[in-house]
């Protein structure tokens, strides 16, 4: 898709986002991950289970690389699915800085 949408002038109180939807199959569980891009070329991802009685939200930080945003959300889903604990605060972000 062309990036011409990024140059569309908006009202000061408005924001325009582009969204891509991914489906992440993990064992018998299906998750939907939405990747958002801002007009300023920043990205974040939000993952939710497709079939669950409860609403869980797995989100990334706002980053400059769409793959990093997706990876952060997937790591959080994997951690919850495998019932593993966070080793240190910011571990999902820290692994991308190296």
pLDDT digits (tens, 9 = 90+) for 25-83: 998 999 999 999 999 999 999 999 998 888 899 999 999 999 999 999 999 999 988 87
Q: What is the pLDDT of residue 48?
A: 96
Residue numbers of the domain that contains 31: 15-86
Q: Is residue 76 part of a domain?
A: yes
Q: Rounded to an integer, what distance in angstroms lies between the CA atom of residue 66 and that of residue 93?
A: 13
What pLDDT sits at residue 45? 98
CA-to-CA distance for 80 and 46, rounded, in angstroms?
14
pLDDT in tens, 2-23: 789 999 999 999 999 999 999 9
Tell me the CA distances in angstroms from 57 to 16, 22, 36, 61, 73, one per residue in order: 22, 15, 15, 13, 9
Domain membership flag for residue 41:
yes
- If one compares 28 and 84, the residue with the highest pLDDT of the two is 28
Residue 4 lies in a domain: no
């Amino acid at each position: 898709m062309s990036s011409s949408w990024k140059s569309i002038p908006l009202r000061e109180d408005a924001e325009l986002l582009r969204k891509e939807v991914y489906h992440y199959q993990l064992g018998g569980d299906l998750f939907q991950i939405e990747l958002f891009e801002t007009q300023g070329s920043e990205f974040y991802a939000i993952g939710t289970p497709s079939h669950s009685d409860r609403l869980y939200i797995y989100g990334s930080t706002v980053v400059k690389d769409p793959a990093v945003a997706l990876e952060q959300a997937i790591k959080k889903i994997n951690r919850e699915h495998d019932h593993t604990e966070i080793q240190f605060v910011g571990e999902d972000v820290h692994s991308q800085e190296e």
